[in-house]
Structure 1
Amino acid sequence: MALCLCYVDRYGSIFKTHILGCPCVMISSPEAAKLVLVSKAHLFKPTFPASKERMLGKQAIFFHQGDYHAKLRKLVLRAFMPESIRNIVPDIESIAVSSLQSWEGKLITTYQEMKTYTFNVALLSIFGKDEVLYREDLKKCYYNLEKGYNSMPINFPGTLFHKAMKARKELAQILAKIISLRREMKINHTDLLGSFMGGAEGLSDEQIADNAIGVIFAARDTTASVLTWILKYLAENPSVLQAVTEEQEGLINLKEDKGLNWADTKKMPITTRVIQETLRVASILSFTFREAVEDVEFNGYLIPKGWKVLPLFRNIHHSPDNFTEPEKFDPSRFEVSPKPNTFMPFGNGTHSCPGNELAKLEILVLVHHLTTKYR
């Protein structure tokens, strides 16, 4: 990404290039990002590399816009709003505590362990407590699937893509079994799978499978990366770590006596600012892919139909025009709200991440137990 920063210095906030053989327009100004993601979002459809689209499934929310996308987004939000996920907080805490205990006395690879934690939380949010019955089978299939995400889409025996597609088929079969059992039991569930299956807005089995796999993909690596960077920055900034620890220790009585509402981040201003600053500095979502559905003119530039358009979130987050001393880790900068369209860790507009509340909650839960129980 340092290369992109150099190109911005040389060519400005909008320039053209090629990525994987595709003509692309790179944009790094808040105004251009707002145009692509919000005000003219209907002119820029979401797009992904072909291998990823085939593995996740063409019915997944990432690849659509319009009515079908709006329907899917509504179903995801219904399951992932704070009032909905509050019911699974004790289970998330159990996963967090168990994860931390499993690391005691060991030299661990932080990112890999965080991926295991976020994977288990993702399964819980999708399948509820039923996930325990299928966790190992789902994990085995998904881990084989993810190895082929960025491979060339050559479906030939022995290739990563072929192995991944085989795992994708097995994963769909497990999901079909879960869906079938739920229909037989006729019990209403409040998890994401229940939202997908429920009422007149219910999806087909293929749509459910594609979107369940898509949610695992979206919920796992990104949140694990954020947690890994948080640990790094806390370790490098003892005064910040001390402030977070004191704040979290002050919440223990509230948690035990009245039940801590993890969605109420006003009670955790320091920890919340640490998370925000980590999201800014690390910029886990460095950019997103869009494709112009027709010729679009912006500030005298013509973006031709069919060209990829990449809003460069990292460049926006690291611009000195938007943040003073952008390379410095300084959570206090979020004591004041950033300027519009300069802080987009979860994207922006109708395609922004609908699971951001779940991501923030599982981060807060792990940070709480980590800072109050460990050194």
Structure 2
Amino acid sequence: MASSWSGLSFVFAKESYPTLITVLAVTVLWTLWSVSGYFRHRNRLPLPPGRSGLPFIGQTVEYLVAMSTADGIRQWVQKQVDKHGPIFRFRFIGYQVVILDQPEGNKFIFQNEGTSNHIFWPSPIFNLIGSHAVPVQTGERHKLIRRYLIKYFDHNAMSRYIRGVNRNAKRHFTNHWQGKEQLVGLNMTNLYTFSTICDLAMSLEEGPLMDKILEDFHAWAKGLFCLPINLPGFQYYKALKARRVILEVVGGLLEQRRKEIAEDRVSEASQTDILNSLLTVPDGEGNLFSDPFIKENLLVLLITGFDTSGGTLAMTLYFIAKNPHVYEEILKEQKSILERKRESGTDENDLTMEDISAMKYTWNVIQETIRLHPVLLGTYRKTVTDLEYKGYYIPKGWLLSWSNQHSHYNPEYFKDPLKFDPSRWETRPAPFTYLPFGGGPHTCLGNEFGKMSMLVYIHHLVQNYSWSLVDPNYDGPFIRDPLARTPDRVSINVKQVVAS
């Protein structure tokens, strides 16, 4: 028996050698890296305060947990600020990330993009977006593509799009609100914004194909901020699978359109959509875009066009329901716009960008919603040289993260910051304190389109419906997966109103 036990121990120990060697190797390498870091930096300024934590993992788990609720990241950032100060660092999926003070740090990042830092996406997110997409491009390539695409999102473009957006909004309320007594606000707003962006991008109308893409987009979006485990059953695996399906569907639409172009039978509506332009109009260097470029940029356009605006609209409906006086003020403003159109003899059903500009209070309500629950919390820039910032040393290769989670809730810039108060937007906030759409060269291209489409939606909504929360006492939590939105259980009671 003793002999058998001795032999078993020997076998066990022998089989454990690879594991022990691996553990020892990692420990030695980690120690050497830490010691070398000390000698590298001992004659320099101190590193920003914070914790590195375990190799690779760092604070990834706690950060992702905080990301699961709309208010979680604000609380997490505040906790770090209370502990380390307004400039701090943490480790996220293997990367050293520094969040700078706000608003000075945000200004520093944006004004130095392209010199001391450039846009960067951690590899799990990069793999979901794709190497050809505009958000990941840098330098001259990014400038070339942005110059090409900007014409689809400037004021002149909005003047062309608004008639179709207006038509889509009226159809949406007829098909999905009329006769209903109770709805899930998020489902309705996402359906509207997705059908609107699908029409603009690819002339794709509501139907089984659009429903399928929408389902896959939900899975894809949830993979942007989750543990990057590419194994069956995990969210990241589902997201990569959804991405492949979406690109296959978009690829099919691309081939169908290319055939229609060759046979000169593209419909009048499709001739002005973005897909048609990408297939027929060369870039600034005279080259047509590749299929991977077109598919990946349509993917990004669709996600930014629907989930950002859809989630914001759902949150706006919630805040309006919680503040009945806000509904009355919006309704008053929208009715005054119609009255002016009647007095001038213009068609009250045909909205213009002049009407959009007159929706000042309505836009203030949306801006206040975005301040409290911004769609985008921040993105990353990678340092391309060693930096010194406010007494701290930031090594080359570290990530800088601009953020709005401290400034949006800072009473120095927004009095009583947790209060929903649209009147605060009667004056402009200080520069770099309100950053719902990013900043610098990578400012969101579609923010004006999002603004216009959301205002058109509310214009028709308040004139035809009033609504209240099924649970009037609901006060959170709200969800972020990864974009802020109301949970599915936040339903609304709907009442159709008679137009006066």
| TM-score, structure 2 normalization | 0.69
Give the paired residue count.
375
Q: Alignment partner for residue 245 of structure 1, among 328, 331, 349?
A: 331
Distance 1:278 1:156, change over 3 A: closer
Residue number in structure 2 paired with 1:9: 82
- Report SS of the residue matched to 1:42: coil
- Report SS of the residue matched to 2:182: coil
Q: Distance in 1 between matches of 2:102 and 2:220?
A: 35
Residue number in structure 1 paired with 2:313: 227
Residue number in structure 2 paired with 1:118: 193
Asked if structure 2 preserves the Cα contact closer than 8 Å seen for 1:45 and 1:64, the reply is no
Task: Compare 309-318 and 86-95 and name the one that shifted more.
Answer: 86-95
Deviation at residue 153 of structure 1 after TM alignment:
4.0
Deviations 1:95-114 (A, max 9, x none): 32343341442433322332
Task: Compare 45-54 and 334-343 and name the one that shifted more.
Answer: 45-54
Deviation at residue 280 of structure 1 after TM alignment:
1.5
Asked if structure 2 preserves the Cα contact closer than 8 Å seen for 1:78 and 1:84, the reply is yes
Ranges in structure 2 where 5+ consecutive residues have no aligned partner? 1-73, 467-500
- Report SS of the residue matched to 2:401: strand
Structure ID, larger Rg? 2
Q: Distance in 2 between matches of 1:100 and 1:265?
A: 19
Distance 1:330 1:160, change over 3 A: closer
Distance 1:284 1:156, change over 3 A: closer
Deviations 1:121-172 (A, max 9, x none): 2211211357869524533543443454444444445544444333323322
Deviations 1:189-225 (A, max 9, x none): 3322233233331311111111111112222222122
1:242-321 aligned at under 5 Å gives the runs 242-254=328-340, 257-258=346-347, 259-262=350-353, 265-321=356-412
Distance 1:286 1:124, change over 3 A: same
Asked if structure 2 preserves the Cα contact closer than 8 Å seen for 1:78 and 1:195, the reply is no
Deviation at residue 237 of structure 1 after TM alignment:
1.9
Deviation at residue 12 of structure 1 after TM alignment:
2.4
Asked if structure 2 preserves the Cα contact closer than 8 Å seen for 1:50 and 1:153, the reply is no
Q: Distance in 2 between matches of 1:88 and 1:203?
A: 24
Q: Alignment partner for residue 192 of structure 1, among 255, 274, 281?
A: 274
Task: Compare 165-174 and 152-161 and name the one that shifted more.
Answer: 152-161
Asked if structure 1 preserves the Cα contact closer than 8 Å seen for 2:107 and 2:432, the reply is yes
Q: Distance in 1 between matches of 2:353 and 2:445?
A: 18
Q: Distance in 2 between matches of 1:160 and 1:199?
A: 38
Q: Alignment partner for residue 174 of structure 1, among 249, 264, 279?
A: 249
1:23-62 aligned at under 5 Å gives the runs 23-62=96-135
Q: Distance in 2 between matches of 1:230 and 1:159?
A: 32
Task: Compare 174-183 and 323-332 and name the one that shifted more.
Answer: 174-183
Alignment identity in percent?
29
Q: Distance in 2 between matches of 1:264 and 1:304?
A: 50
Asked if structure 2 preserves the Cα contact closer than 8 Å seen for 1:248 and 1:268, the reply is yes
Deviations 1:64-90 (A, max 9, x none): 211121122223321122322333323
Q: Distance in 1 between matches of 2:436 and 2:242?
A: 31
Residue number in structure 1 paired with 2:37: none
Task: Compare 288-297 and 102-111 and name the one that shifted more.
Answer: 102-111
- Report SS of the residue matched to 1:251: helix
Asked if structure 2 preserves the Cα contact closer than 8 Å seen for 1:35 and 1:41, the reply is no
More helix by share: 1
Distance 1:246 1:151, change over 3 A: same
Residue number in structure 2 paired with 1:88: 161
Q: Distance in 2 between matches of 1:133 and 1:70?
A: 37
Deviation at residue 317 of structure 1 after TM alignment:
1.4
Asked if structure 2 preserves the Cα contact closer than 8 Å seen for 1:38 and 1:348, the reply is no
Ranges in structure 1 where 5+ consecutive residues have no aligned partner? none
- Report SS of the residue matched to 1:23: strand
Deviations 1:30-76 (A, max 9, x none): 11101102244532222234333222211111112111211222233
Amino acid paired to 1:122 = I
Task: Compare 308-317 and 96-105 and name the one that shifted more.
Answer: 96-105
Q: Distance in 2 between matches of 1:133 and 1:189?
A: 23
- Report SS of the residue matched to 1:286: coil
Distance 1:189 1:294, change over 3 A: farther
Residue number in structure 1 paired with 2:36: none
Q: Distance in 2 between matches of 1:93 and 1:24?
A: 43
1:62-81 aligned at under 5 Å gives the runs 62-81=135-154
Amino acid paired to 1:199 = V
Q: Distance in 2 between matches of 1:303 and 1:141?
A: 39
Task: Compare 139-148 and 203-212 and name the one that shifted more.
Answer: 139-148
Q: Distance in 2 between matches of 1:280 and 1:290?
A: 22
Asked if structure 2 preserves the Cα contact closer than 8 Å seen for 1:76 and 1:195, the reply is no
Amino acid paired to 1:32 = G
Q: Distance in 1 between matches of 2:237 and 2:257?
A: 31
Amino acid paired to 1:138 = I
Distance 1:147 1:340, change over 3 A: closer
Task: Compare 240-249 and 270-279 and name the one that shifted more.
Answer: 270-279
Distance 1:137 1:40, change over 3 A: closer
| TM-score, structure 1 normalization | 0.90
Deviations 1:276-333 (A, max 9, x none): 2222222222222222222122122222122121122121111122122222222222
Q: Distance in 2 between matches of 1:131 and 1:204?
A: 27
Asked if structure 2 preserves the Cα contact closer than 8 Å seen for 1:263 and 1:361, the reply is no
Q: Distance in 1 between matches of 2:206 and 2:146?
A: 22
Distance 1:161 1:205, change over 3 A: same
